[in-house]
Structure formats: C-alpha cells, structure tokens
Chain A
Amino acid sequence: MFVRTQDGEARGVLPITAHPVSQGRLCHRGWNRFQNLRSVNRLVKPLVRDGEGMKETGWNEALKLSGEKIKDLIGKHGPESIGVIGSPWLSNEDNYLVSLLARQVIGTKNLDGSYRFGAAATLSALNQLYGEGIGAAGSIPALKDSPAVLVAGRDAHRDFSPVGSRIVQAFKQGAQIILADASTGKADHFYKTFIPVPADRLPAALAAKRDISSEVLDLLGKPGAGLVFVADQLNPSASVLALINYLIAHRASAKDLPNILALSRSPNLRGAWDLGIRPPAGGLNLEEMLAPESKVKGLLVFAEDLSVHLPKAALLEKLKKLDFVLWAGRFKNDTAQGAHVVLPLPLFAESEGTLTNCEGRVQVSRPALSPRGECRGLSEVLPELAQALGKSLPGGPAAAIRKEIGKAVPGYEKIAGPEVESEAGALLAPPRLASAPSKPAVLPALESPDKFLLLIPNTLYAWEKNRMIAESPVLCIEYQAERPAVKMNLQDAKDLKFRPGEKAKIRSERGELQVALQADEGVPRRTLVLSSHFLNLVEGVAGKGEIDPLTRSVYFPSMLVTVEKA
C-alpha cells in the first residue's frame, strides 16, 4: 500500500495490485489509513512528570533522567527490578533493539509484549509445536486452493480482508468452509458447516464428530486444508494446541502441515514474538510484572497503550505503584498519563522498518512522511539510552540493524538480504514439527436444561481504543465501544420478560453478578456473552479465572450459569 501525500500531509492511500497478499484489495482500515496520519493527538516532544501533570523537555534531559532512574533502581534492587515491554506495533528492528536493551543492557529477564493478554496463548502453542521457530506456518495465497477451511470465530474473515478474500474464492471453487463459533446463532451463507461450540471445546467436538460429518472432516485432513482464527481471541494455549494437533493427527499425508493463519489485530505480532519480545526462562510476563506482589519497580513500555488491554482505572492504579515508568509511544493516551518520562516515536509511515505478517512474510515499510515534531525512532534513541546506562547497543539505519538480526535470530537470515526489499517481501522457511501431536482433552459436558452457557470471549484487545481507529472519522464510527452488558438471545430475553436494559442476576458456582442485559438477535439460544474486557463484571461471576500453564496468564473458561431478574 502506498500513502499519498500533499504539502506534507497524508491525503490518501493506494493499494498495490501486484502484491501477492493484498492483490490491490484493502479492508476499511487500510482504505482509511491516511486519516490517523493526520492526527492532532500525537506526542511531538519528550515529556517528564511534573507533580500531577507532565511538562515538555528536551531529548537529552529525558534520556539522562531515564538513565539515572534506571541505574538507581538497578543499584538498589538489582536488574530484575526493571521490566521491559515491547510491542507488535513496533518494527522488527525496533523490537530487536528493545529485546537487546532488556537482555544485554539492563540484564533483566522481565521482558514481554503487550500481547500477553491475548495472542500469547496462540504464539506459545505454535512455539511448542514448532520448536525452532514458527517461520512460514501458513500461506494466505494458498488458502484459495484449500479443499476445506476451518474458521474459528466469525470475525476472522471479514476483519482481515486478504484472508477473507481467499475464503470467498475457495468457496467459489467448491471448498468446504466451516465456521466454529459459539457466540453466534447463524453463519454467513458460504459457511457450509457450522459448529456452534466454544473454542476450548472445539477439538473435542471435532474428535467426537459432533456437528460435522466425516466427509468434511476428511477434507480437513487433505493437503492444503486451512485453519484460520484470530490469535488475539483464542484462549487458552492448550485449546489452540489441541486444535492444531487434531488437524495434524488427522492429516492424510504425513509430509503436509495444515495451513495455519493466526490473525492479529496488531500489525507485527509475529515479528515481535520472533525477535524475542517474550520472557526468557525465569522471567516475569507482563501480568506478573504488574501484579501487586511483583518485584518490578520500573517499567519501560514501548509503543503500545496498555489501556487497550487493561481497563483504564485498573491500569493507572498499577502504574502508580511503580517507582519509574518510561513510555515511548506515538499518541497521548492513558499509559502516557501514568508515566514519569514520555518519549515521542514516529509512526510506521514516518520511519523505515520491517514487519512480519501472519504467514511469516517479512516486508519493508518505508516512510511516506517525515516524523512529526521531535519524534525520533528507537534505533537512534535506544543506543543513547544504553550509553546513559554505561553500555552500548547497535544503531544506525534500519538496513544495518537487519544485518545484525540476520546473524543473531535463527530463521531470520533472509531479513538481511535483498528479497525483503522487494514488493512481495521475503518468506521465512516453513516450520518443522517439534513435538508429537497430543490427543484433545475431553472436557466434561456443558449442558443443563435449566442453565445458560456463559461465554467470556477474550476481547481485551479493544479496537475502538486503538489510535488507528479512534483518529479516523470513518473508523471511529465503524467500531463502536461495547457497552458493559451481557448479551442474550432476543427470544430468550422475551421469554424471561426482560425489558431493554433491565438488570439480570447471573449466578455460577464461582460467584454472582448483576449486570444490564442486552438482547441480541445474533446470540444463540440459551447462551450469554460477556466480553472479558469488563474485568470487574467478569470476575464477579467467574472469580479470578484460570491460569494458562503455558502463558501463565489468566483466561476465563465457558461455564454454566443461572439467570434471573435482578
């Protein structure tokens, strides 16, 4: 995609028809991508805390102060008192430097990405499966020729149009398109098979051939069969692993791996993970760093607004308890409010860097605009910060950092070559299986005639808070903020004589909750849907949730509940 500019302002975009993924087709975020480049809510100068507010300062002062604070904390409490948070909203080059900053310069194992609350489950599962690197685990163009595609979660095709486009093309060619989703009552017409079960129960449902015929299952075992899901939403890692393992165990030929496309709402999820933005053995993850008893006293947060993942009040509370918060980012937001030092970064469209997409394709993004105000890229800033800490980091142009990455990161050799700069970018090598497929665990049946099934989908990544959305006059209307309410089927609400907005009392074995009821035609009968984003509400009925042993983060399994008028 090109960004078109006039008088130094972004004025439009142009798709690239020759691109093997987009083929000249964009989603609505792509078409309106230029609007947020004109945002007036940008950070343009370094800021430092001044009492309750923030005041502008120079880069030297901001970096010097950060260096002193970090050194001070290391001196008093050791390097493990510092936590570092990288981001899927940073390029591979920047994430590589952030990872080096943590591991080599500061010497802390407390390194993680903001995706801990969502996509870490998928990434950890893939990592377990393909030990040496996830590589090119899928192919978007090849999806078109799939004999069958299993889509887990109904948003997957429409929200990611290059993938959705291939699904429609595959449908036209006669492929079996299968939708698995418990939170919707009806699938679009090109889904030939609809499996209305929650993701955590999907592998068991496939194994039991519930809602799906053996012929369709056989097609899913054929070479080229696809699995598409939104990584940010699928939890816990055991169910991701079981799902993929089921497909692998079921395949017709031992040499083919299924075409796995784990989509994400953030642009460089795979790149951030691959370049080491995750805790090494013995390190704390983001949730653990923010926990009340955590030893982390200083947090360095790069590029992402954590409030996109955590409700605002809870976040500010947690940040307040820290002795030092450095936030390097692009927009004025809640994380910036809780920081002691704020550093302004350029947008993707204002700097050069590579991104890795969900199929393992590494591509260069080149600047279309000059950085706003005093924004500076991390490849300049982090070496200076390292210097302030008495250490050094490689810096310089993006291409030079790519050479370093090519040498240091297994599987990323191609990033240093010319192919990355081509229109199509460079595909990483296909992965190899590291572990033998496991059998899906059999979960106890979740059925009871007088109870409702409560689904708590992981929507912690809230689109409407994303600046790309919020700063566009089109997209901010497209993505409406969700209301703190539990959704129930319209007919069920009528049967129980609920008036619009009336409160319901929801009771489970773990707790009880009173919440406004929202009648929704799309929700299946005898089902309730409550977004995990409303953590306070969720914890009322689901308690503290469960810990995913692989990611060590919280998730909320589906459960049976009773509903009555409050």
Chain B
Amino acid sequence: MDRYIIRKDDLNRWVEALARTQEVIAPTRVEKEIFFAPVQTGIDLNLLSGTAVLPYLPAKDLVLPHSENLFKFTKKGGDYEITVPEDKKTTVVLGIRSCDTSGIFWLDKFYQENFSDCYYWQRRNNLTLVTMACNQPAKNCFCVCCEGGPFLDSEQGEFDIQLVDLPDSYLVECKSSKGKALIEANSKLFAKADPSAVKTREVLEDKSRKSFPPDPTSYMSAAIRRITSNAVTPETWTELGEKCFDCGGCAFVCPCCSCFGVGYLNEGEQGCHYRFWDSCDYSGFTREVSGHNPRGEKGERFKRRFFHKLSYQYLKRDGRIGCVGCGRCITACPGEVGMPSVVERLRK
C-alpha cells in the first residue's frame, strides 16, 4: 500500500483532470436530496469531508441498478435476433463511504460465485472506488458494529483508494493498480505522506470509533447467536413482521441486498427481458403459479430477511454479515423496523 498527501485545493483539480478521460461520480445535491451523480468540475467539498454523507441509494446502484435490460429481441421470420446492451464507460466514484465500499466488495464475491454475472462485471470492472473515511459518523450510522467502517483498515481492508480528511490536506491510501493509475496520471498533485500524517489518521480513526453513540447494535453478536440457533420464537418474528409494510425499501437501499426479479415485455415483433431489484419482503417473492406460497406468513418473510443478513450459516459462507451498518434501512422503513431496532428486539 502507498500513502500520499493531496492538498485540499488540489482535490478539485484532480477531479477535473479525471473527468476529462472518464466519468466521475460523486455525492451531489439535487434540490434537498443527495445522490451519486456525474460531476465535471467544482464539486461540493462539503460532501467530501470527514463527516459522513450517505446518498439515499447506496453505490450498489452503479453496479446493480434498480433495473437494467438483459437483452432485446426482434422477431425475424421464424427466427429471433437478440441484442445485449453494452456499457463500456470507465467510471470513478469519489466520496463513496467505507460502508458502501465494503458492500460493493461483498457483492463482488457473490457475483463471482459459481459463475461471473456479466452485467454486473462489465460495470464493476470499469469502476474505481475512491473512498472517503468518516471522521464523524452521521445520525443513523452503526458501521462500527458491522466492520463496515468508519475507516477501512489500511492493511486488511479492500479498497482502491481511501481518502482521510486531515486538518489541512487529504491522506491518500492507495491499494490497487486501478487506484494507482488515477494517481500516476496526475502525479504532480500528490506528495509522499510523512509519518505525522499517518499518526493523525490513527488519532482520527480512534476518535471516530469513539464518537458512535452507545447503541443497541453493539448487541449484534447476541442477535447473530439467537438467529443461528433458531432461538427467536415465531411470535417475535410475527410481532416484528406486523410492523413490516412489505414495501421492499430496506432491500433496495441495502448495500448488500442483491435479489432481483425479471420482467418481460413484448410489443409486436419486438421485446425485452429486464431485471429489477426485488425483495424477500414481498409476499409474491416465493409464491408459485399454483398459489402455493412457502413463505406466505409475514413473520416467515421477516425471519428470512434477517436469517440471510445475520445467521452464522451465511456469515461462514460470505465471510461477513450481510449488513455494513450504513443505516439506510432506518431512513427507508415506514414501519420503523430497520436493522438496529430489530437487533435490539432480537437480543432479548
């Protein structure tokens, strides 16, 4: 791993240089909302500070979008002509937070298992992640309980580049060849980091970890234990499930959720198959054409979601729990049963 320093004033210069050769995506304010959106120049440095800024949708949306066409077809006589959409642009995401980065590396593993999902990988291979470490968590953050942040570990963590907001500059930690290419193409803007910068980084991380409110999510391990051993009663699942409105929002905003459905369109001689985010909250998710539904009960569906997120069986398979602690489900859930409140209920 290499460490550099970039002056705060130079960050915008770097972005402008990068934007000349590829798409640069950064948190951007549209009306009162914050989204990941393409930027050219003059990015909002307030959204790229040490204080956590989480766009409504996770950066997952850049590799696994809300919906995408799988292929289009045209009927030609007795035959079909099938075309697959291509996406060849290279993209840098700047200001993605450690939780979202952890989520994407988690999805990488999933989309490599058994076979490579080409729609995912054609975007992912052309994506470089410049992560911004969080000196100060936001109101709903609990990454510290899920090994999703607030900083990515310089040695063990998976990332391309990690920026740390120091008092007068950014510390730049670079780990991959993709990250290196972004720095080398603009090497004048970067200087080697001195040990004091690394020292400051450690102080900042320590301070950040301590600034999380004492939160029920520190009971995460108790919840994992109880789910794994099937110790949570069906009544508890039903009670939680009754507050779930089956909206699917938690799955859509979750950096780790990857379930999808497939839609089919057919108009005259042409048509299209497309996939879209789906959610195990939906009663139709497992319903078969016959009407039989193995998970027709609300409690059963709620249990399914948290079994996938928190059971040891999945933890062992995937190497981490299916939650990075970004807190987006708290924002999206109309029934107030996002991850922290569920974990608090389950540990008892």
Contacts and interface: CB of A to CB of B under 8 A. Distances in A.
Q: Let me know if chains A and B touch directly in the complex, using CB atoms closer than 8 Å.
A: yes
B160 interface: no
Contacts of A437: none
A162 B252 CA distance: 18
Interface string B307-348: 000000000000000000000000111111000000000000
B278 A474 contact: yes
A12 interface: yes
Interface stretch (B75-83, B151-159, B279-287): B279-287
Interface stretch (A27-35, A106-114, A295-303, A337-345): A27-35
A12 B65 contact: yes
B345 to A, nearest CB: 12
Given A17-B32, A165-B336, 16 more contacts: A14-B56, A14-B57, A16-B31, A17-B331, A26-B249, A26-B332, A26-B334, A35-B67, A35-B263, A38-B274, A190-B242, A472-B263, A473-B276, A474-B278, A477-B284, A478-B282
B267 A28 contact: no
Interface of B: 31-33, 35, 56-57, 61, 65-68, 239, 242-243, 245-249, 252, 261-267, 271, 274, 276-278, 282-284, 287, 291, 331-336
Given A15-B332, A31-B252, A172-B336, A161 B245 contact: yes
Contacts of B332: 15, 24-26
Contact of B65 (A11, A158, A168): A11
Contact of B282 (A13, A14, A189, A474): A474
Contacts of B249: 15, 25-26, 31
A415 to B, nearest CB: 21
B32 A18 contact: yes
Contacts of B57: 14
A320 interface: no
A473 B56 contact: no
A158 B68 contact: no
Contacts of B282: 28, 474, 477-478
Nearest to B246: A28
Given A13-B66, A24-B56, A158 B246 contact: yes
Interface of A: 4, 11-18, 24-28, 30-32, 34-35, 38, 40, 157-158, 161-162, 164-165, 168-169, 172, 188-190, 423, 472-474, 477-478, 480
24 contacts: A11-B68, A12-B61, A12-B66, A12-B67, A12-B276, A17-B331, A24-B56, A24-B331, A24-B332, A25-B249, A25-B333, A26-B247, A31-B252, A40-B265, A157-B245, A161-B247, A189-B239, A189-B242, A190-B242, A423-B31, A474-B284, A477-B287, A478-B284, A480-B291
Contacts of B283: 478
Contact of A31 (B32, B61, B243, B248): B248
Nearest to B263: A473
Contacts of B66: 4, 11-13, 34
Q: Which of A157, A158, A190 has the most CB of B within 10 A?
A: A158
Given A24-B331, A31-B252, A474 B67 contact: no
B266 to A, nearest CB: 6
Which 4 pairs across A and B sit closest by C-beta, in order of nearness?
Answer: A12-B66, A477-B284, A165-B334, A18-B32
Contacts of B31: 16, 18, 423
A169 B261 CA distance: 32
B259 to A, nearest CB: 11
Contact of A18 (B33, B67, B261, B287): B33
